[in-house]
Amino acid sequence: MSLLNIFNQVEISHYIYLSTVLFAIGLFGVLFRRNAIILLMCIELMLNAVNLLFTAFSTYMGDSDGQIFVFFIMVVAAAEAAVGLAILVLVYRNTRKTDVSFLDQLKG
Amino acid sequence: MFQQLPIPFLILSFLTILSALYVVTSKNPVHSVLALIFTFFTISAHYVLLNAQFLAVVNLIVYAGAIMVLFLFVLMLLNLSKDTEPVKSNWWGIAAAISAGSLLLIITAAFQVSGEAIAKNPVEGIGLVKALGKVLFTRFVVPFELTGILFLAAMVGAVLLGKREKNNAVLIPKEERSDS
Amino acid sequence: MIFLPLMGFVVNGILGKWMPKSLSGWLGTATVLGSFVLAVMNFMELSGGTPEIASINTKLFTFLSVGDFHVDFAFQFDRLSAVMTLIITGIGTLIHMYSIAYMHDDDGLYKFFAYLNLFIFNMLVLVLGSNYLMLFFGWEGVGLCSYLLIGFWYKNVDFGKAARKAFVMNRIGDLGLLMGLFLIYDTYGSFEYQEVFRQVFIGTADSTAVNTAIALLLFIGAMGKSAQIPLYTWLPDAMAGPTPVSALIHAATMVTAGIYLVIRSEAIYALSPFAREIVMWIGLATSIMAALIGLKQNDIKKVLAYSTVSQLGLMFIALGCGAYTAALFHVITHAFFKALLFLGSGSVIHGMHHEQDIREMGGLRKKMPITYLTFLIGTLAITGFPFLSGFFSKDEILVSAFTHNPLVFGLALISAGITGFYMFRMFFVTFHGTYRNHHHPFEKVHESPLLMTLPLLVLAVLSVVGGAVNLPHYLGEGISGGLHHLLSYDGGGKFSPILMYPEHVIELSHTAEIGLLAMAVSVFVIAFLYTRNKYVVKGAVPEADADQQGMGKVLSNKFYVDEAYDVAFVAPLEGASDTLTHYVDEKAIKSAVDGVGKGGFGLSKMLSKIQNGNIEYYLVYMVIGIALLLAFNLF
Amino acid sequence: MEVIIIPIIASLVVIAMGKRIPMWLSALFSLLPILLVGKYFQQMGVEGGWKTIFDQPWISDNIRFTVGFDGLTGILLILTNALVPVIILGGIRNDENRVKITALTLFMQGALNGVFMAQDGLMFYIFWELALIPIYFITLTMSGVDAFKITLRFFLYTFIGSLAMLASLIYLFLHTANYSFAFESLRAVELSHTESLFVGGGILLAFLVKIPVLPFHSWQADTYTNTPAAGTMLLSGIMLKMGLYGLLRWFLPLAPESIEFYQPWVIGLSVAGVLYGALIAIRQKDMKRLVAFSSLSHVALIAAGIFTLTDAGLEGSVLQMFVHGINAVGLFLVIEIIERSTGTRILGELGGLAKNNRLFMVFFMLIALGTVAVPFTNGFPGELLLLKSVYTYNHNLALMAGLTIIFCAVYIFRMVQFSMFGEGTGTVAALKWNEILAFGILIVGVIGIGFMPQLIIDIVHNSIVQIGQWVSEARGVMS
């Protein structure tokens, strides 16, 4: 399938809808699930949705900046996953739980 | 509207969404992780469709390879493969669905409103390593270096957090602490 | 002329403390006398000069000039002002002189004269001002002096109360007057008399309603100052002040300011028959009511006060009938004999060591012959003894009332008749019969010094011959109607007459007029004989207030008007004040404001519940927030 | 410029010298600016608009430190710089707070001068708030349980109003051609009707709270009653005038489009306030409270006069501002002296004070007469003009507002009666030179303006005509 071909048949809006749906699914997961690991995973999902959109725009507009941005996002996501999981392990070690609703100390 | 779309795109999109849903809904965390990895694969396939070959590969290596393995590793480490998560109430599910749905709606609406067709201006080969490398190491060299520092910081942080310490029972709620 | 008394006030007010008593008294007297002399000279210039001039106008400076609102500090000396000025300064001089003796042992003598001079100054501003605002200046000023002088003996709380009552009642009238002035300005675009009347004459406002409104508003002012129903109750209370004050302010001059105002605004009243009717009926009602109350008063000064109110009512009847000359005539004669009576009563009070109750007096004629004689003349004058001054002026009013409406004539005649009853009652009880006071031995009662009796004598003479200024025409064409001619002066070709419209010329046949006179005289005779019989021959003593029965009780309590006012106005006002203080201000408004503060607290408590520490909630809030932000940007 | 700085320096000097500073010296300090004001009058005259006398770039080239002078500014400068010496001479007790209050008063003088001279919106706002600081601290020195509560209420009230004004000014600023806070630039902004309602409303709120007009007045009585005399005098004599001055100088020119909308409301509220204050004053026992409500009543009339937008109303309002400053300070000074001598200011506990201090009695009486607006005292011409203007606007409202001349007589004379007259045992100590001097300055104002109100009218005439023109132009566009 050549490049021009897919551009002729798939509009940018389709990617927009796709990534929006993915994003919403990820968001729903963040809101709905209580397991911290799943939460982190859902965040990754949301990030990927954004990545997909960035790439789509980048390609459609013929500008590589979007892809560079995706690259950076991946970097940050990796760092976030590492630190997030480390924190999670620590929390688990202290509380024997990974349930976020258990963490209700975050108030003044 | 779907009829005009090429079959590969449709299939891919369908698989992506389906697996993403499974990530969210699966009771077993391990299944979730596996589904997520599958999602990443489909997204990588999208990248290929979009002529972003470099990203497709990086996505596979970094996400599906590194990050997701990390997740899986932690799951195993903490022995959370069982379905231990307490089920949230329906109310909470509805609230989450409404919130997420409304955001979806609004973003979609935003696109609809601002929906001027973006001029198609495809350029061959921007998704290749060569092209990206040029940009990355010229215009974006400073951010690139900064990400290196970020990684370093993340690494130090992760190590520091992971280090086992005594008496760091701060997060145990009072009642449990008084028990022990 | 005007500023002499002001000078007297300033000097007395500032330096008086260090001046010998007699000096401040004489200084005060001299300034007023000086004004009098100047007034006479100006008057001569006005009417004696060739060619005759309508008025002397002096503009001192611009008082206020804002946009189209322009008021000058200016004076106008015309024939009407002249008459008033002569009364004020003339009688003022006599009363000042009298006060030197009357007040000689009071600490605040200099203050007293300072106030008196200030009063004369304000009164002169009132009558000499060339525009309505100047009139208002003097108007308020005399109210103030009245307040100061009534409350002169400031240690007495009741006196202070009376003073405040006088001031406040006057202020109610002033408000009406002020509104009238605004309406005048709105309609005619000026305060200057000449300009206003010119406009009135050429019919700038061709609606009678406006003129009626102006006339009525001005009359409200006149009601306050000249003590007409419903604002008359302050005057009897004002008798708390020293007696010379009562004579000067509350009999001779200030209270006639209302009359002056109406005569001055004749042009406006002439266009509003309705307003004139109102003036007349209110005058009539006041006259009769006050006369009735006077019948049962035992305080010598209160009787005179009600008599003053009654006489003022008569003057307003004349004004209402359009007989301006008659009203002014009565102002003059009334000034003579009422000042005489007040000063006489002052002399009695002085001789009796500040006893004012006539039941405690009696038989004083032996001890105080001059006072007795002059008081008799005053009484005869006020009751209308033939050919004394009051006879002429009162008759003129009655005649004008008759031509206007026989019913009014009848009622006015009754009122005038009652005058005879209460005056003779007081006179006989005071000077005839036997001495009834047991606190002061009869021997200690003494005649007043010359300084006090001299003004009495002068005033007595004036009371006798005062009628000469405007003799009725049946006594001969040549000598009659002096005052009438004066007022009807047409401005010598220039456009500034005092009376814009020719007065109602009283055209009664001599027979009819003499018939009316006969009725008046017979009423007088009946009153004289009845009271003489009751109080001299039978030696009756009036009952104390507490012993009054039936109608007498109602009368001695002054128809309970004060009480009614208390219930109708004072109490609600105080109630409103309390309510506003305690409920509206403290509770409603303050708690509303504090409520906002408390609401803030409550809101913050509520909001702090949202921050429950659970990340999941925070997430939901965040998402909702983002959604809202986007939505706002979108739409 | 110097009139702003000198008092502030003086206040620092006072603090530096501490207890050693004699009263005459601080009074002298406070008298210096009025000489400068005289110089301004001589140099600048009162014609030819609002002339800049000092201009420096400040935050940016277009947000400048600009002070100007014209008749309206001049008259308020005279008022401020004549009354502050009076306050320092007569209003400050010789106790442990003396130095503090003196310094704060001097500081206030500088800030107030700044308010009246500022030609830049931001400067105006800053001085406006700056003036709030000293009065806040003066109020805090009061004794009593509720001290903090009352002060806080006062502070919040005025502050909220100020914030609304700031918001409006910033909105205008953002719409100026060159991002400038200068008066002329702000004025040149053309607003739509809706915009002007909000902008005008914000500015108006600040001023109405400060004046205060009816529903915003509840800070007033408590603050007046509990503040040390110097604070009360500053508040009633000068600070209230800030609000009225603001209406004339800032509200009318900046948001003339909104006047049409606010006019009936403000006049209605003002007239209600006139009656309301007067009615409450009738039954007050505490003299300070009585005068506070009488002040409410009088000032509301001024606000009503301004909003009639007639010549008589505008110029009468300036005249009456000046006059009310004198009278209010006078009455509070009288009360302060009575309280110092007898230890109370409750009417029921006083009486007979006239017996042994005639001089004091005369001063009291004259100031009372001025307040009652008897002819030949200063209260009369202003009240006449204001009532006239309200009359032009609406006859019935004028009648209601006119009732104040009756009520005012009732409560003022009631106060005089129960404090000075009657039999009482209290005495007022003989007046000291400083008190006599303070009264002297006031009495000159009372009598002088009573006879020659035109002097003040002439000074402000040009400024007011200018403002009137702007307003009528804007209204001409609207209709």
pLDDT tens per residue across span D125-140: 989 988 888 888 888 8
D352 to C168: CB separation less than 8 angstroms, yes or no: no
Name which of D289, D299, D287 is nearest D240 in CA terms.
Answer: D299
Return d(Cα D318, Cα D46) in angstroms, integer: 15
Sequence letter at residue C620: V
- A52 in B contact zone (CB under 8 Å): yes
- D380 in C contact zone (CB under 8 Å): yes
C355 confidence band (pLDDT: 50, 70, 90): confident
Name which of C327, C200, C329 is nearest C276 in CA terms.
Answer: C327
Q: Which residues does chain A have within 8 Å of residue B107's beta carbon, measured at their own beta carbons?
A: 20, 23-24
Please, which residues 452-511 of chain C have a Cβ atom closer than 8 Å to chain A? Answer: none
- How long a stretch of residues is chain C? 635
Higher pLDDT, C203 or D29: D29
pLDDT tens digit sequence for A87-106: 888 888 877 777 776 666 66
Q: Output the pLDDT for position A9.
A: 72
Residue A3 lies in a domain: no
Question: Does residue A4 surpass a pLDDT of 70?
Answer: no
Q: Output the pLDDT for position D285.
A: 83
Q: Are C273 and C539 in contact (CB under 8 A)?
A: no
- Please name the member of B95, B106, B110 whose beta carbon is closest to the beta carbon of C620: B95
Residue C227: both structure tokens together: 């003590």
What is the overall mean pLDDT for chain A?
A: 82
pLDDT tens digit sequence for D65-115: 888 888 888 888 888 888 888 888 887 877 777 888 888 888 888 899 889
Identify any residues that bridge with C58 across adjacent strands, giving them in sequence order: C75
Q: Which residues does chain C have within 8 Å of residue D398's beta carbon, measured at their own beta carbons?
A: 179, 182
Residue B47: both structure tokens together: 């990248």
Q: Output the pLDDT for position A50.
A: 92
Question: Does residue C493 surpass a pLDDT of 50?
Answer: no
Q: Which residues does chain B have within 8 Å of residue A27's beta carbon, measured at their own beta carbons?
A: 99-100, 103
- A57 in B contact zone (CB under 8 Å): yes
Q: Are C220 and C213 in contact (CB under 8 A)?
A: no
Q: Which residues does chain B have within 8 Å of residue A13's beta carbon, measured at their own beta carbons?
A: 111, 115
Q: Output the pLDDT for position A51.
A: 92
Return d(Cα C179, Cα D397) in angstroms, integer: 11
What is the overall mean pLDDT for chain C?
A: 77
- B162 in A contact zone (CB under 8 Å): yes
C623 to B106: CB separation less than 8 angstroms, yes or no: no
Q: Are B60 and B40 in contact (CB under 8 A)?
A: yes
Q: Are D308 and D392 in contact (CB under 8 A)?
A: yes
The answer to whether the Cα torsion of C310, C316, C322, C326 is positive or negative is: positive
Residue C6: both structure tokens together: 């002001």
Q: Are D297 and D233 in contact (CB under 8 A)?
A: no
Name which of D43, C22, C297, A14 is nearest B50 in CA terms.
Answer: A14
Name which of C146, C156, C569 is nearest D282 in CA terms.
Answer: C569
C585 to D311: CB separation less than 8 angstroms, yes or no: no
- B40 in A contact zone (CB under 8 Å): yes
Return d(Cα D131, Cα D111) in angstroms, integer: 5
CA B44 from centre of chain: 12
Q: Which residues does chain D have within 8 Å of residue C133's beta carbon, measured at their own beta carbons?
A: 384
B171 to A55: CB separation less than 8 angstroms, yes or no: no
Helix (H) or strand (E) segment spanning residue C62: strand C55-66
Residue C230: both structure tokens together: 């419903």
B162 to A70: CB separation less than 8 angstroms, yes or no: no
Please name the residue that has the structure tokens 């006090």.
C452
Question: Does residue A60 surpass a pLDDT of 60?
Answer: yes
Question: Does residue B141 surpass a pLDDT of 70?
Answer: yes
D477 confidence band (pLDDT: 50, 70, 90): low
Return d(Cα D375, Cα D372) in angstroms, integer: 9
- A104 in C contact zone (CB under 8 Å): yes
- A41 in B contact zone (CB under 8 Å): yes
Q: Are C229 and C285 in contact (CB under 8 A)?
A: yes
Please name the residue that has the structure tokens 């206007």.
C404
C624 to B99: CB separation less than 8 angstroms, yes or no: yes
B74 to A89: CB separation less than 8 angstroms, yes or no: yes
Q: Which of A15, A35, A88, A95 to mutate to test the interface with B (most CBs of B within 10 A)?
A: A35
Mean pLDDT of C176-200: 83
CATH number at residue A51: 1.10.287.3510
What is the overall mean pLDDT for chain D?
A: 84
Q: Are C203 and D449 in contact (CB under 8 A)?
A: no
Percent of chain D beyond pLDDT 70? 98
For chain A, the domain total comes to: 1
pLDDT tens digit sequence for D276-313: 888 888 888 888 888 888 888 899 999 999 998 888 88
Higher pLDDT, D342 or C588: D342
Q: Which residues does chain C have within 8 Å of residue B100's beta carbon, measured at their own beta carbons?
A: 623
Q: For residue C344, give Cα distances in angstroms to C74, C366, C416, C582, C605.
A: 38, 15, 21, 51, 81
- How long a stretch of residues is chain A? 108
Q: Which residues does chain A have within 8 Å of residue B168's beta carbon, measured at their own beta carbons?
A: 90, 94
Q: Which residues does chain B have within 8 Å of residue C626's beta carbon, measured at their own beta carbons?
A: 103
Q: Are A9 and B3 in contact (CB under 8 A)?
A: no
The answer to whether chain D touches chain A by having 3 or more C-beta pairs less than 8 angstroms apart is no
D479 confidence band (pLDDT: 50, 70, 90): very low
Q: Output the pLDDT for position B72.
A: 85
- How long a stretch of residues is chain B? 180
Residue A5 lies in a domain: no
Question: Does residue C220 surpass a pLDDT of 50?
Answer: yes
- Decide: residue D300, CB within 10 A, 0-12 exposed, 13-18 middle, 19+ buried: buried
Residue C486: both structure tokens together: 């004066």
Mean pLDDT of C161-168: 83
Mean pLDDT of D187-201: 84
Q: Which of C630, C632, C633 to mutate to test the interface with B (most CBs of B within 10 A)?
A: C630
- A25 in C contact zone (CB under 8 Å): no
Residues C318-346 as b or e (16 or more Cβ within 10 Å = b)? bbbbbbbbbbbbbbbbbbbbbbbbbbbbb
A62 to B32: CB separation less than 8 angstroms, yes or no: no
Sequence letter at residue B24: V
Mean pLDDT of B64-80: 82
Task: Tell me the shortest Cα–Cα distance from A28 to chain C, in angstroms.
Answer: 10
D311 to C67: CB separation less than 8 angstroms, yes or no: yes
Q: Which of A2, A42, A85, A97 to mutate to test the interface with B (most CBs of B within 10 A)?
A: A85
B177 confidence band (pLDDT: 50, 70, 90): very low
Return d(Cα B32, Cα B40) in angstroms, integer: 12
Please, which residues 10-39 of chain A have a Cβ atom closer than 8 Å to chain B? Answer: 10-18, 20-29, 31-35, 37-38
C611 to A107: CB separation less than 8 angstroms, yes or no: yes
Residue A107 lies in a domain: no
A1 confidence band (pLDDT: 50, 70, 90): very low
Alpha helices by DSSP H, C151-226: 157-188, 193-202, 208-225
Task: Tell me the shortest Cα–Cα distance from A72 to chain C, in angstroms.
Answer: 24
Higher pLDDT, C500 or C607: C607
A78 to B6: CB separation less than 8 angstroms, yes or no: no
The domains of chain B are located at 88-117
Domain range for A27: 10-99
Mean pLDDT of D224-241: 86
Alpha helices by DSSP H, A62-96: 65-95
Q: Are A50 and A20 in contact (CB under 8 A)?
A: no
Q: For residue D87, give Cα distances in angstroms to D80, D138, D437.
A: 10, 13, 11
CA angle B75, B81, B86 (to 5 degrees): 105
For chain D, the domain total comes to: 1
Cβ-Cβ contacts under 8 Å between C and D: the total is: 138
Q: Are C181 and D387 in contact (CB under 8 A)?
A: no
Name which of C266, C267, C180, C173 is nearest C218 in CA terms.
Answer: C180
Return d(Cα D170, Cα D205) in angstroms, integer: 15
- D311 in C contact zone (CB under 8 Å): yes
Domain range for D240: 2-478
Return d(Cα B47, Cα A53) in angstroms, integer: 10
- D60 in C contact zone (CB under 8 Å): no
Q: Output the pLDDT for position C495.
A: 42
